Amino acid sequence: MPTKKARSFIGIDVSKKMLEVAVHDRENHFHCANLDSAFPTLIAELIALRPVLIVLEATGGCETAVTNALHRAGLPVVVVNPRHVRHFAKAVGQLAKTDRLDARVLAHFAAVIRPPLRPLKSEEAQQLEALLSRRRQLVEMMAAEKNRRRMSSSPEIQEEIDEHIDWLKGRIKALDKQVTQQCKRSAAWQRKNEVLLSVPGIGPVVSLACLAELPELGTLNRQQISTLVGVAPLNCDSGKHRGSRHIFGGRAYLRSLLYMAAVAGVRCNPVLQEFYQRLLSRGKPFKVALVACVRKLLSIINVMVRENTLWIDKAVTT
């Protein structure tokens, strides 16, 4: 009677054109093109290996197509932070770096760390995230162009920059319409958007960014959601030394938006206003108090989304 093939941990190193595949504790390694047409063959090879876990690094979007294809095929795939994998490689003494070595490190990482599987974003959520990302790029371009106009002394250059700024404003307005239409396609998104917009200090950009970049909102506790966004104070203690607490990591763009929402909230949101003034009266630096307000705001909207309730002044507690 034939023996059943052992289960495997697989790492896939992703580049723009190629995928390098390695299996932990085996000599198996192969590569294929990072193209939709090559994915069926890749999937068949991976299924034959009976994977327990397939790990890829986030590579700025190059991994999206293959991750979606593997997920649709029912394979256990997870995308991890490249910084975590690099630190792991250094910890096990793997200092050299090639595509094949990176794939083997990813397979080793999968076998030892076993990062938990997470639900992938839906295609609608990925589309919304792409639209918001493009909007952010255009806003950054417009800010850069305004700075260039201010520094220019040539009327011709200023006129050219003004034309570009007008074009950027038109594109941002068009993208805002696309984002709104995308949000209307889902009743669940519409309700979440309504819940978030009811909070004083949160506007459409922050609300839609939460929908696209924080699908975990309402599913985690306040400590977990704060750590995920990167606003949880992290300890820095060793022996008798007690270091100051700092925030670190997380989703930087979302954190910056929530920070601006908190800045607005301490002026117009009675809960945040009271909380902020209480921290200042205790001698907390204003920036520490503002970060605490970001954490408070995040905890509030996390509960509101979980309970599916709109904002009620001075009645929301966390």
Task: Report the pLDDT averaged over residues 303-313.
Answer: 90
| pLDDT tens digits, 21-38 | 999 988 888 999 999 999
* pLDDT > 70? residue 234: yes
CA 73 to CA 41: how far, in whole Å? 12
Helix (H, G, I), strand (E, B) or coil at 212: helix
All domains of the chain in start order, with CATH: 8-113 (3.30.420.40), 123-185 (1.20.58), 197-237+245-318 (no CATH)
Q: Which residues pair with 55 in a beta bridge?
A: 11, 78
* pLDDT > 80? residue 139: yes
Which among 38, 40, 34, 43 is positioned nearest to 15, based on CA atoms? Answer: 34
Using 50, 70 and 90 to split pLDDT, how confident is the model at 129? Answer: confident
